[in-house]
């Protein structure tokens, strides 16, 4: 845990100086800001962004885009488990014990996290991608085949999303099968359905 925290803190410090102030984006289209930067958004903006509002306005575009944190830093079990793993509150606090945000919105949202941590109450995130229960999708096997940056194949470019939304309907079997046919891998039903 400690090691992971140090790596994360390092990543934050390296990139932390480059907070750019972009134009305010209000459309749901979310045009991409220049690489390595992120737009400044307030909590109120999250209403207009695509995807469900989360209890904390967690910015994947800041963490994965601007700070270039690896997906697997938080989604730690994706390479060896069927489940990608949702970061524990402790993982968040590893950095946010020290990083309290620069803008009022950031400060307010991070305070929500620290308050929840203090009350020992986990944040209940709204789930965006959920497979039907009769489908078994081993994340690990796909990361193994497609590489550690393959997340975008299904989830879209999360690093550009201030608020995560569903780019592909992962519950549509055609979406899975198209890829499996293209890559000439198994299409056997019992690969996923059992």
Partner 1 sequence: MADEAETQGVDRRQFLKVIGVSGAGAAVLSGCTTERVAKLVPYMVQSEDQVPGVPTWYASTCAECSSGCGVYVKTREGRPIKLEGNPDHPTNAGSLCSRGQAGLQSLYNPDRIKGPMARNAKGEFDLIKWDDAIARLAAKLSSAGGKVAAINGYGASTFSTFLADYVTALGGTTVAYEPFGREAERTANDRTWGKAELASYDFGAARHIVSFGADFLETWGPVVEQQRGFAASHGFHDGTMARMVFVGPRMSLTAANADEWLNVPAGSEALVALAMAQVVASRKGSPLAASLASYTPDAVAKDTGLTAAQITALAEAFAAASPSLAIAGGIPAQHRGAIELCQAVNLLNEAAGNIGRTVLFGTTVGGSDGYASMVSLFDKMGQGSVQVVLVHDANPLYAMPKDGKFAAAFAKVPFKVSTAAIIDETAAQCDLILPSLHALERWDDLHTRAGVTGLMQPVVQPVFQGMHFGDVLLKAAKTIAGPVAKFNDASFEARLKSAWQKVAAEQKAGDFDEFWRMALGRGGLFAPMAPAPQFPASKGAVSYTKPTFDGTGDYVFLPYPSSMYHDGRGTNKPWLLENPDPITKITWQSWVEMHPDTAAKIDVREGEIVELHSPHGMIRSQVYIYAGIRPDTMAMPLGLGHTAYGRYAKDRGVNALDLLGAADGQGFLPYVSTRVSVTRTEDYRKVARVDGMPRQLGRGIVQSMALMYAAKGMTPEEAYKAGGRAPVEENTELEQKAIEGWHDAQLENTKVGNYTGDHPKWGMAVDLSRCTGCSACVTACYAENNIPTVGEEQVFRRREMSWLRIERYWEGGEANEPLGVRFAPVMCQHCNNAPCEPVCPVYASYHTVDGLNGQVYNRCVGTRYCSNNCPFKVRYFNWLKYNDVAWPEPLNLQLNPDVTVRARGVMEKCTFCVQRIRAVQNTARIEGRDFKDGEIMTACAQACPSGAISFGNINDPAAKVVQWKKDPRGYVMLEGTNVQSSVTYLAKVLHDAPVAGRGES
Q: For residue 68, state whether it binds partner 1 (rule: CB under 8 A).
A: no
**C-beta pairs of 70-77 under 8 Å, 24+ apart in sequence:** 70/148, 71/148, 71/149, 71/151, 71/158, 72/148, 73/4, 73/7, 73/8, 73/11, 77/140
Which of 35, 48, 83, 115 is the binder for partner 1 (CB under 8 A)? 83
User: Segment contacting partner 1 (CB under 8 A): 65-73, 97-105, 139-147, 154-162?
Assistant: 139-147
CB 48 within 8 A of CB 106: no
Is residue 86 within the footprint of partner 1 (CB under 8 A)? yes
Residue 175 in the binding site for partner 1 (CB under 8 A): no
* Among 16-24, 27-35, 102-110, 140-148, the segment contacting partner 1 (CB under 8 A): 140-148
Here the tokens at position 161 are 């999303």
- Residue 2 binds partner 1 (CB under 8 A): no
134 binds partner 1 (CB under 8 A): yes
Cα–Cα distance for residue pair 16/171, rounded to 1 Å: 37
| CB closer to partner 1, 25 vs 143 | 143
Residues at the contact surface with partner 1, assessed by CB under 8 A: 1, 52, 77, 79-83, 85-91, 117, 120, 122-127, 130-136, 138-141, 144, 171, 186-191, 193-194
């Amino acid at each position: 845990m400690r090691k992971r925290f140090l790596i994360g803190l390092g990543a934050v410090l390296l990139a932390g100086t480059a907070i750019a102030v972009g134009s305010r984006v209000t459309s749901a289209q979310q045009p991409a800001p220049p690489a390595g930067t992120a737009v400044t958004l307030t909590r109120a903006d999250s209403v207009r962004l695509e995807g469900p509002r989360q209890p904390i306005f967690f910015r994947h575009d800041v963490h994965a885009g601007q700070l270039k944190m690896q997906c697997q830093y938080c989604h730690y079990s994706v390479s060896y488990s069927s489940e990608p793993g949702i970061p524990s509150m402790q993982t968040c606090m590893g950095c946010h014990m020290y990083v309290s945000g620069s803008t009022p919105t950031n400060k307010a949202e991070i305070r929500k996290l620290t308050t929840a941590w203090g009350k020992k109450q986990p944040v209940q995130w709204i789930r965006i991608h959920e497979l039907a229960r009769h489908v078994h999708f081993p994340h690990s096997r796909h990361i193994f085949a497609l590489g550690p940056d393959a997340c975008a194949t299904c989830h879209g470019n999360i690093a550009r999303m201030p608020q995560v939304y569903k780019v592909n309907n992962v519950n549509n079997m055609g979406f899975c099968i198209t890829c499996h046919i293209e890559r000439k891998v198994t299409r056997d039903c019992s690969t996923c359905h059992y």
